[in-house]
A and B are shown apart, each in its own frame.
Chain A
Amino acid sequence: MADITPKIGAYISIAKTSLQAVFDNLKAAGFTLIGPTLGDSAIECAEITQTTDLPIGWTQVQEAGTYRLQRRSDQAYFGYAVGPHSWKRYLYPPTLKLYTVDHQNGGFTVTPATPATPQYAFIGVRPCDMHAIAIQDRVFLHNGFQETDYKARRQRAFILAVNCTEPGSTCFCASMGTGPQIETGFDLALTEIPEIFLLEIGSELGREMLTGVDWWHAGAFELQTARQALTAARSHMGRQLDISALPNLLYQNLEHPRWDQVANRCLSCANCTQVCPTCFCSDVKDVSDLQNQQAERVRVWDSCFNLDFSHVHGGNIRPTNRARYRQWLTHKLASWVDQFGTLGCVGCGRCITWCPASIDLTEEISAIREEGTR
C-alpha cells in the first residue's frame, strides 16, 4: 500500500473489493449513492449502499424495441451498457414542486418550494451519459439563464464514471465522439479489467474519496490492458451513425418520404424523449384547492410527442406523427447545433432500445442519407 494519496490526473489500481471502501468514504461524506442495480427485468438506477447492490455477473441483450437481462460467464461489476434510466431523473426530476400561492388579504403570496437539495454520488456514469450531463449543463446553466434546482443538484453531485469496455448492440457513442472512454467532467473514472479496477483521479474530491483505500500506481501492463479493451470497444459498437453533413442533411430533406414511413410506425407515445438523457422539455401544472384559496405549481417532464406541447394560439402546429417525429429528430441532430453548439444526441441508444415500435434513428438517418438530397 502506498501511504501517500494519488495526485489529480494520476492512474491508480485498486483491487475490486476495495471499491466498497470508496463507497464507504462517499457515504461518510454525506453522499447518497445512486447506481446500477438489478431490477425485475432490467439494470435500473436506484439508491445503492454496497458494491453487492451492483448487478455483478449480469449483462443484457439490447435491440430496437427489445431488452433482455442475461447472466454473464464472469463476475464483472460493470459488464453491461446503459439501461432505461439516466441521471437526468436525479438532476432534473420528472416531477418537481416549484411554489405555492395563497390568497391573502385581498392579494396573494407566493412561497417558493425549498426542498433540501440531495447530495448524490452517481456510480457508473458512462461516457455517453457524461456528455449528456454536459449538454444539459449547457441548456440549464450556460444558456443565458440558470435552472436553480438543476444547478444546486449538479454542483453537489459526485461522479464516478465507468469507461465502456462492452458497448451494447444499440450503442453508437464512437460515431458521436462521446465514448467509449471518458475525457472530462468526472471525479473518478474507472476502467474494469480482469481482477482490478483502474482509476483515473479527476478532482480533489475524487482524490479525497480514496482516503484509506489500498491502491498502487497503475503499471504499464494494466494501462495497456485497459487501453486495448477500450480500443476494442470502439470497434464493436452495435450501431453506427454517420454524422457528416449534419445538420444540413436534415434541413435539405424536410420533405423526404421517409418521414411519412416512420410516421406510420411511430406511436407518438413519447418514450424516446423520456428515456433520452438530453431531452429537457417540461411543462408546469397548476393544482388549486376546492376553495380556490391555495394553488401549487408543479414542473413535470413534457415531450414534443404530446399534442398539448405544440398547441399554440389558433391550433396545433404539429398535428401529425410525421411533424412530431421530424421535429424531434431534426432538433436532436440539426437545430440543436444552432441552438447550443453541439448535437443533441450522445449515442447512448436508449431511444432505439426503449421505443416500443422499434424505431431506430440510425436507420432513419441512413435512409435519408442514401435516398435524399445532399
Chain B
Amino acid sequence: MNSPNGGPAPIKPNQPAQAAKPRLAVFKFASCDGCQLALLDAEDELLALAGQVEIAYFVEASRRTLAGPYDVSLVEGAITTPEEAERIQEVRRQSRYLIAIGACATAGGIQALRNWHDIDDFIQAVYAHPAYIDTLATATPISDHVQVDFELRGCPINKYQLLAVLTALLVGRQPSVPTYSVCVECKRRGTTCITVAQGVPCLGPVTQAGCGAICPAYRRGCYGCYGPTEAPNMDALGQRFLAMGAAPAEIVRLFRTFNGYADAFRLAGDKLEEMDRTSVQRRG
C-alpha cells in the first residue's frame, strides 16, 4: 500500500504517549551483580530506557520498589538455596516476560563448580558455624526451575545485547543475538588466531559470540563466557587440544569455568575426565 505522497506505506507509529509504560524489574539470585552493572553501565542509554519503561523494581539502582506484576523481569544469578528456589517461582508468577541474564542465570555460573563435589565438604571447610548454612547441593540455571522466555548469555552480559533485547520486546519483535562462534568476531576485528599461531588452547570455536572477542585480542584463550555455540563440536576441540599437547586435566579445567555446567561444556568435560580416569587405570 502506498502513502499519499507515493512513497512506501508509513511504518506503524509508536504507542500513544499517554499509554502506560511497560514495567521493568531486575532481580538478583546467586551472582556477583556484574550483569546488573552492565545495565547501569549503559549510561548513555539509561535515560532513554527510563523514558520507555517504568523501572519498577531494581534494588541495585533505586530503593523505591513497586509491587508486581511486571511486564519484563531481568533475572540475574543461579538458584543455590531453598529460599531462592521458592522466590524464583514468585518472580515467574509476577512476570509477563522473564529474561535470564548472564552465565549464572543461564548455566549456573562459576558457583556451579560445586555441582561436581560434595557441598557438605565445602560447608565444613569454609564456615565456622556450618549449622547456620542452608544451601542446596547444586547451583542451577533459572530454566531448571521455571519457564524462561529468553536467555541472554555472558559473564558478564554485553550491555548492547541487553538493550537490543529490551528494544525488541518494546516493539514486539523476536530478540536476535548471534549464536555463532567467537572466531567470527575475532576474524571481523582482524585478530590473529592464538590457537594456530601460538598454540594456546582457546574455547573460541565452541563459544557463542557476544563479547566482541576480547580475550584473544589480548593474546588470551577464550574462557567460554558466553557459553556453547549453537552447534559446538566439543569432542573435536578436545581431541585437537590433546594433539597440541595439552593434558586432559588442563582441558577439563578449561571446559569447566563460568559456563562449565552448560550442557555441552559439562558433558564434554565429564567425558574427557572419564576417559582420562580409565586410561590412568589401564596404565596403572
Contacts and interface: CB of A to CB of B under 8 A. Distances in A.
Interface of A: 39-42, 44, 65-69, 83-85, 89, 94-95, 103, 106-108, 264-271, 274-275, 287-292, 300-301, 303, 305-308, 321, 353-358
B233 A268 contact: yes
A303 B182 CA distance: 13
Given A269-B205, A321-B231, A356-B196, A308 B179 contact: yes
22 contacts: A42-B192, A65-B240, A84-B193, A94-B189, A103-B11, A107-B5, A265-B233, A268-B181, A269-B181, A269-B206, A269-B229, A270-B180, A270-B183, A270-B187, A290-B51, A292-B167, A292-B170, A306-B178, A306-B179, A356-B196, A356-B240, A357-B205
B16 interface: no
B82 interface: no
B3 interface: yes
A274 B184 contact: yes
A357 B3 CA distance: 54
Given A301-B184, A308-B179, A288 B205 contact: no
Nearest to B240: A357
B237 A357 contact: yes
Interface in B22-39: none
Contacts of B231: 268, 307, 321
Contact of B180 (A41, A289, A303): A303
A369 B209 CA distance: 36
Interface string B161-187: 001101100110000001111011001
Contacts of B235: 264
A266 B195 contact: no
A356 B219 contact: no
B48 interface: yes
Nearest to A109: B7
B193 A106 contact: no
Contacts, number: 149
B51 A291 contact: yes
B10 A106 contact: yes
A307 B179 CA distance: 8
Contacts of A65: 195-196, 240
Given A41-B197, A269-B205, A321-B233, A292 B187 contact: no
Interface string B42-66: 0001001101100000000000000
Contacts of B167: 288-290, 292
- Interface of B (DSSP majority class): helix
B39 to A, nearest CB: 13
A271 B180 contact: no
Contacts of A291: 14, 48, 51-52
Q: Which 7 A-B pairs have the closest CB atoms?
A: A274-B187, A269-B205, A41-B197, A94-B188, A306-B180, A267-B205, A107-B10
Chain B, interface residues (CB within 8 Å), range: 35 or more
Contacts of B189: 94
B198 interface: yes
A264 B240 CA distance: 12
Contacts of B170: 290, 292
Contacts of B206: 267, 269
A270 B184 contact: yes
Contacts of B239: 265
Interface in B4-26: 5, 7-8, 10-11, 13-14
A267 B197 contact: no
Nearest to B236: A265
A364 to B, nearest CB: 15
B194 interface: yes
Nearest to A285: B176
B237 to A, nearest CB: 6
A88 B11 CA distance: 36
Contacts of A353: 196
A271 B7 contact: no
B204 interface: yes
B230 A307 contact: yes
Contacts of B164: 287
B190 interface: yes
Contact of B205 (A39, A40, A301, A356): A356
A159 to B, nearest CB: 20
A90 B204 CA distance: 24
Nearest to A94: B188
A55 to B, nearest CB: 13
B183 A356 contact: yes
Given A107-B3, A264-B233, 15 more contacts: A42-B192, A89-B190, A106-B3, A107-B5, A268-B231, A269-B229, A275-B187, A288-B167, A289-B167, A290-B163, A301-B188, A307-B230, A307-B231, A356-B202, A356-B240
B205 A271 contact: yes
